[in-house]
Amino acid sequence: MEFSCKDFKVGKCQGQKLVDCESMPLVLKPPEADKADMESLLLALKTNKDWFEQLIMKNSAVLLRGFEVKNAQDFNDIVEAFGWDDIRYVGPAPRTHVHKRVWTANEGPLSEFIYYHHEMVLIKESPKTLLLFCEVPPPEGGETPFVPSFRVTERMLEEFPEAVEEMDAKGLQYSFTALSKNDTSSMRGRGWEDTFGTSDREEAERRAKALGMDLEWLPNGGVKAVLGPRSLTRVFDGRKGRRMWFNTVVGMHGKEISSAIMADGTEIPENVVKRCGEIIEEESIQFKWEKGDVAIFDNMALLHGRRPSKPPRRVLVATCK
C-alpha cells in the first residue's frame, strides 16, 4: 500500500528501523503547521479511518508526533475517533483509571524494566490495538521498546527448529501468583481482587474460568492462577501470513512468582529461553518519547516493554478490540 494521505506528512524519528521494507514506527506529523490542533487531527482520523487501520496492520507501529495532544481527555478523543470497542485490561500490572477509556500504564517502579510482551497474551481475547500517550516524557530512559514478533519466530526456527515445533505442538502452560490486595512496589503487583473486580472467591473463580484460568487459593490469602494450554506462535489475518511469537515464555519462565512449561509438564530448555531473550532484545526498536506523542501498536504483531526511567514519566494507555 503506497502512502497517500493529504492529512498527514511522513516524518522520521531516532531509533526507527526498516523491517521487511516497512518503517517501524511509521511517523505521521501534521501536513502543515496550522493543522496540528486537536480538531484537525480528529477530523483526519475519522475521515481516513479505514486507511489508518490498514496502515497499522502494514507497519505494526504508527507514531503521531507534533500534534497538540495535551491530556487524557484529548487522548480519549483520539481513541474514540477510531470507533474501536474497548477491552478491559486483565493482568498483573498495577494501573489506575484516569478518564473514560484511558488508564495509566504499568505503575510499577520506574527503576525496573518491564519485559517484552503482547498485551494480555495469556487471556482468551487479547486487544487488537494498543494506544499509548506520552503526557510527561521522562528526562532519561523510559522508552517503550517494541519487537516485530514474526522476526523472533523466524530466528528461533533457524536456531531451534525442533524445540519450537515441540512447544507449538504441545502448547504451553503458565502459572503466576497474586496477593489479594494491590502492591504498587512491584510491576506485577496487582492483587486478584482488583484483577477480577471482586473480593468474593467463588465469583473470582467464575470470572477467571471465563478468561481461561484455574485458580488455586494460597494460605496467605493470595492465589495461584494456572493457564493452559496456550499457543507458542499464532498467525493472524491480514498480516502477510506471518507466524507471530505470541507467548510470554521468556517473561515468565523460572521466575519467583511465575512459571512457563510445556502443557504436558515437559520443562522448556534453559538455553532455548536464554537465547530467545537475546534474540528479542536484538530485534527491539525504540524511540525517545516526546510530550504529546501518541503511539499506536498492532498488539497481534508486536511485543512491547518499558525501559528503566528517571522520574517523572507519565504514559497513558487504552486497549481496543
Percent of the chain exceeding pLDDT 70 equals 98
- Confidence category of residue 187, pLDDT binned at 50, 70, 90: low
67 in the same domain as 27: yes
Residues 160 and 55 occupy one common structural domain: no
Q: pTM for this one?
A: 0.93
For the cut 60, the answer to whether the pLDDT of residue 227 exceeds it is: yes
Residue 248 is predicted with a pLDDT of 97
How high is the pLDDT of residue 259?
97
Q: For residue 4, what pLDDT is reported?
A: 64
**Do 274 and 310 have their domain in common?**
no
- Please check the confidence at residue 49 and state whether its pLDDT lies above 70: yes
Q: Are residues 130 and 202 in the same domain?
A: no
- Count of domains forming the chain: 2
| pLDDT, tens digit, 9 for 90 and up, residues 107-153 | 889 999 999 999 999 988 899 999 999 999 999 999 999 999 999 99
- Tell me whether residue 82 is exposed, middle or buried, using C-beta atoms within 10 angstroms of its C-beta: 0 to 12, 13 to 18, 19 or more: middle
Q: Which residues span the domain enclosing 225? A: 148-281
What CATH number is associated with residue 188? Answer: 3.60.130.10
Q: What percent of the chain has pLDDT over 90?
A: 87
Is residue 4 included in any domain, yes or no? no
